[in-house]
């Protein structure tokens, strides 16, 4: 079974660092299982924020490619990417900006490696989950 990743219904459930990657678990609150695990290997810069501030960033980039209810994007020229260390970007060249948008959270990732995805069983974080 593949989870529906509709950005309005989904959310970032957990973010964790492993020995070789940053892993983000995304869920659809209306579905108990499964969830989508997104892993980004290698050196990364990340930003997590409420999705609302995205609309307040003064970006010179056109809004081309935005699709209603879409979850994952490769972004060029956004404020998040352009304000990062030029030295880091040179050392990690070519670094690409990936953006994952849910109804409550935005995860921006800058990495020289493409993210990988896998469907995993959702494990409860607490008794209230």
Domain-located, residue 71: yes
Domain-located, residue 5: no
Q: Is the pLDDT assigned to residue 90 strictly greater than 50? A: yes
pLDDT bin (cut points 50, 70, 90) of residue 2 is very low
Domain-located, residue 126: no
Look over the chain and give the mean of its residue pLDDT values, rounded to a whole number: 80
Q: Is the pLDDT assigned to residue 108 strictly greater than 90? A: yes
What local confidence, expressed as pLDDT, does residue 96 receive?
94
- Copy the structure tokens of residue 45: 């810069």
What local confidence, expressed as pLDDT, does residue 1 receive?
38
Strands 35-41 and 116-120: antiparallel
- Copy the structure tokens of residue 69: 């209810």
Considering just the CA atoms, what is the radius of gyration of the chain in Å?
Answer: 15
Domain-located, residue 92: yes
Q: Indicate the number of domains in the chain.
A: 1
pLDDT bin (cut points 50, 70, 90) of residue 70 is confident
Domain-located, residue 41: yes
Domain span at 98: 11-120
Domain-located, residue 58: yes
Domain-located, residue 127: no
Give the DSSP H/E element, type plus range, for residue 36: strand 35-41
DSSP-assigned letter for residue 55 = G
Domain-located, residue 60: yes
pLDDT bin (cut points 50, 70, 90) of residue 72 is confident
Strands 44-49 and 11-17: unpaired
Write out pLDDT tens, residues 7-65. Answer: 777 889 899 999 889 999 998 766 666 788 999 988 899 999 886 666 556 555 555 66
Q: What is the per-residue DSSP string for 75-114? A: ESS-HHHHTS-HHHHHHTPSPEEEEEE-SS-EEEEEESS-
Q: Is the pLDDT assigned to residue 4 strictly greater than 60? A: no
pLDDT bin (cut points 50, 70, 90) of residue 126 is low
């Amino acid at each position: 079974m593949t989870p529906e990743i509709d950005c309005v219904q989904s959310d970032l459930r957990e973010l964790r660092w492993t020995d070789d990657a940053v892993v983000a678990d995304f869920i659809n609150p209306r579905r108990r299982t499964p969830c989508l695990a997104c892993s980004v290997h290698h050196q990364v810069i990340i930003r997590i924020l409420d999705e609302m501030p995205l609309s307040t960033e003064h970006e010179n980039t056109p809004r081309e490619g935005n699709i209603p209810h879409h979850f994952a994007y490769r972004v060029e020229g956004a404020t998040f990417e352009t304000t990062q260390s030029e030295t880091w970007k040179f050392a990690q060249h070519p670094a690409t900006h990936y953006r994952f948008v849910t109804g409550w959270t935005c995860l921006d990732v800058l990495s020289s490696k493409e993210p990988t995805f896998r469907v995993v069983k959702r494990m409860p974080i607490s008794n209230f989950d």
